[in-house]
């Protein structure tokens, strides 16, 4: 899309015209952004942090999977684990309720270091799986996820076993207490929007296009001069950065992390979110996340209201997943794309 956009540089179109066309092309996402920015004016803290904030942070982790799977054809189940590594490291290196373990380093040391450790972890898992394809990539990353889950569960000196960590505060800087609901919301929104923008931008930059080439035909990529394995590892590193930041934000939001934050269920949740939302476009990750968060938050009450066992909300998520995969393999955004393509007579072939 953008390659053609930039390559036909709107041949000498006036600047104003280019701007207005850019705005109209991105009208939907700009409107959404405006709503999200203004949301704290009308929304209560619960909606702000527990619904939208959680969706955005979780969406970032799903976005990292979308980047790998949608553009790179690599389904990695280790993305929640990478987020978990970052989250744990923030608790271990920074502050928590456990002075025997936590090092209480200042946030500006602990947080970047935690993210760096998670990126190294993600890059190494990527290097392990980069020479595999399809189901073998899934198996290797699942094994990594399982190994880290059991490590945190059984290791007490560093990970505090199944108790994990609580009271992991977001930092206080620039005179702002980022723990408070509204600042925390804006912090999450900033990183979610940045990572979304970065993925959209990079998808049409050489790195992202080459990744899509690797997805479509790795052998041919080699035959036109690309080091396919190196490209895959680099993609894992970039995805790990997004997942790691999402993981830190999730920990600050939930104020705790334990092995059950990164259990198989959570690992699979990320896959479900990405697939339900749709792997065809970065926005799918966030669409999937908001659907998931709303279901998790309200399905219980809704089920009880109609006289069913509230714990069946997982069944609803499962059924929803099944329906989506059966009727729209490219997720909710695939549905939306087809509807809007039907509305527009001819357009929509390479939009969104």
| Distance from C-alpha of 137 to C-alpha of 129, rounded to nearest angstrom | 5
**Which residues between 7 and 46 bind another protein (CB under 8 A)?**
7-9
Q: Mind giving me the DSSP string for 310-345?
A: GGGHHHHHHHHHHHHHHH-TTHHHHHHHHHHHHHSS
| Distance from C-alpha of 117 to C-alpha of 86, rounded to nearest angstrom | 7
Over the window 230 to 269, marking each residue x when it contacts another protein by CB under 8 A and - when it does not, the resulting string is: -x--x-----------------------------------
Near another protein by CB under 8 A: residue from 133, 222, 301, 309: 222
Q: Closer to another protein at the Cβ: 6 or 167?
A: 6
Q: Is 307 left (phi over 0), alpha (psi -120 to 50) or beta?
A: left
4 part of the interface to another protein, by CB under 8 A: yes
E strand segments, the chain: 165-166, 172-173, 176-177, 256-257
Give the length of the chain: 352
Number of residues counted as binding another protein (CB under 8 A): 34
351 part of the interface to another protein, by CB under 8 A: no
Q: Least Å distance between CB 335 and another protein? A: 19
Identify the bridge partners of residue 176 per DSSP, sorted by sequence position: 173
Q: Least Å distance between CB 126 and another protein? A: 14
6 part of the interface to another protein, by CB under 8 A: yes
Q: Is 316 left (phi over 0), alpha (psi -120 to 50) or beta?
A: alpha
Near another protein by CB under 8 A: residue from 227, 298, 315, 339: 227
337 part of the interface to another protein, by CB under 8 A: no
132 part of the interface to another protein, by CB under 8 A: no
Binding site for another protein (CB under 8 A): 2-4, 6-9, 201-202, 204-207, 209-210, 212-213, 215-217, 219-228, 231, 234, 349-350
């Amino acid at each position: 899309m953008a390659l053609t956009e930039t390559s036909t540089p709107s041949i000498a179109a006036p600047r104003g015209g280019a701007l207005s066309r850019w705005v109209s092309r991105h009208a939907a996402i700009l409107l959404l952004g405006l709503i999200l920015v203004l949301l704290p004016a009308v929304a209560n803290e619960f909606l702000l942090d527990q619904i939208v904030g959680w969706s955005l942070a979780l969406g970032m982790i799903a976005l990292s999977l979308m980047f790998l799977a949608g553009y790179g054809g690599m389904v990695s189940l280790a993305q929640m684990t990478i987020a978990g590594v970052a989250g744990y490291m923030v608790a271990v290196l920074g502050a928590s309720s456990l002075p025997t373990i936590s090092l209480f380093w200042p946030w500006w040391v602990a947080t970047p270091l935690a993210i760096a450790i998670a990126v190294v972890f993600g890059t190494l898992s990527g290097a392990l799986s980069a020479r595999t394809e399809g189901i073998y990539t899934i198996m290797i990353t699942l094994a990594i996820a399982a190994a880290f889950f059991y490590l945190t569960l059984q290791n007490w000196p560093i990970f505090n076993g199944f108790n994990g960590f609580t009271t992991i505060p977001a930092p206080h800087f620039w005179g702002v207490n980022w723990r408070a609901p509204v600042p925390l919301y804006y912090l999450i929104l900033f990183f979610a929007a940045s990572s979304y923008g970065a993925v959209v931008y990079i998808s049409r930059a050489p790195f992202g296009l080459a990744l899509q080439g690797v997805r479509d035909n790795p052998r041919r990529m080699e035959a036109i001069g690309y080091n396919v394995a190196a490209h895959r590892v680099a993609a894992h590193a970039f995805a790990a950065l997004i997942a790691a930041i999402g993981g830190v934000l999730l920990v600050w939001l939930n104020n705790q992390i334990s092995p059950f934050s990164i259990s198989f269920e959570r690992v699979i949740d990320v896959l479900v979110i990405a697939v339900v939302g749709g792997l065809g476009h970065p926005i799918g990750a966030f669409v999937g996340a908001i659907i998931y968060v709303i279901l998790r938050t309200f399905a219980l009450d809704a089920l009880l209201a109609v006289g069913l066992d509230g714990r069946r909300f997982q069944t609803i998520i499962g059924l929803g997943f099944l329906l989506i995969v059966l009727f729209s393999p490219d997720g909710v955004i695939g549905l939306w794309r087809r509807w809007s393509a039907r509305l527009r007579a001819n357009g929509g072939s390479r939009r969104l």
